[in-house]
Amino acid sequence: MSAIRKGSKPPRVGDGPLFSRFLIGIVLVLGALLILAPLVIIGVEAFAKGWQVYASTIAHPDTQHAIGLTVLAALIAVPVNTVFGIAAAWAIAKFDFRGKRLLLVVIEIPFSVSPIVAGVAYLFVYGLQGIFGPAFDEYGIKILFAIPGIILASMFVTAPFVARELIPLMQAQGRDLEEAATSLGASGWRTFFSVTLPNIRWALLYGVVLCNARVMGEFGAVSVVSGNIRGQTNTLPLHIELLYHDYQTTGAFAAASILALIAVFTIIAKVALERQGAGRGRSRPAAPQPSDAAQ
């Protein structure tokens, strides 16, 4: 009682050094078994038959096409979702309008729906038996089992990433800086590039990195809409599955090593951006400089 009266905090469960070390040990063991060990196995198995076999697998035309298609999907989906995320965050955080709650719900839908379910939904929208499929087929436009379907599915599953990073930050920053810049004569675009963008740049890059990583590794929705045509509509994750089913284990691990490297670089970029203050609720607005925006 005397210790509590003097202002010292009562002991809590887990404050003891033995219990803390026990918890840390469990986390380290589980992390090594569930995260580190698979990455190590991928690297070991990828080079199990030597560097030449690894290089020949990566240089195979089907693997090269899968890599190129994955990169193409990322080059289209990431910029589109970046623009969408900025626009959605700007509208939700800076304006009041009817339907704001509905827009927030729509943004969250890709996180609530299974990617495979989303792929099946695309079949009923753009397939030959779907709503718009017969009209597209009449004009010779192929959406599903082609590159457009892969890009649409990739855009769907990655749509929320940028918006989810920007909305809480822009809501916390408020509207004072933008209103001050506008009152001094700055245009909308000038206000965005001189006031808003500098304050959200790290969170924006954070969302872009996460969006790109998800595009590169997406499997469920793409597997439904692509048709799994080797050398034509296979992205890298689908190509890895085909190699594994064909008992080409070394080739599957070699292709998987590319995605593993992307994952490692994504983690490094994520940590670096978090140190810069990125991530929801971590960034702080810069000092107000409305005079600069009005110039």
Q: What percent of the chain has pLDDT over 90?
A: 31
CA-CA distance, 51 to 262, in Å (whole number)? 20
Contact 89, 170 (CB under 8 A): yes
**Residue 180 identity (one-letter amino acid):** A
User: What is the per-residue pLDDT across 102-138, written as a single tens digit (0 to 9) for each?
Assistant: 989 999 999 888 999 999 999 999 988 888 888 888 8
User: What is the per-residue pLDDT across 172-226, written as a single tens digit (0 to 9) for each?
Assistant: 888 888 888 888 888 878 888 888 888 888 889 889 999 999 999 899 899 999 8
Q: What's the pLDDT at 16? A: 65
Asked whether residue 38 carries a pLDDT value surpassing 60, the answer given is yes
Q: Which of 38, 34, 63 is nearest to 254 (CA)?
A: 63
Q: What's the pLDDT at 285? A: 47
CA-CA distance, 290 to 198, in Å (whole number)? 13
Q: What contacts 248, CB < 8 A, 6 or more positions away?
A: none
Asked whether residue 10 carries a pLDDT value surpassing 80, the answer given is no
Q: Is the dihedral of CA 226, 232, 237, 239 positive or negative?
A: positive
Average pLDDT over residues 10-31: 77
Q: Could you tell me the CA-to-CA distances from 65 to 137, 217, 231, 236, 251 in Å, in that order?
A: 26, 16, 6, 9, 15
CA-CA distance, 230 to 287, in Å (whole number)? 54
CA-CA distance, 244 to 252, in Å (whole number)? 5
Q: What's the pLDDT at 82? A: 95
CA-CA distance, 121 to 225, in Å (whole number)? 10
89: buried, middle or exposed (CB in 10 Å: 19+, 13-18, 0-12)? Answer: buried
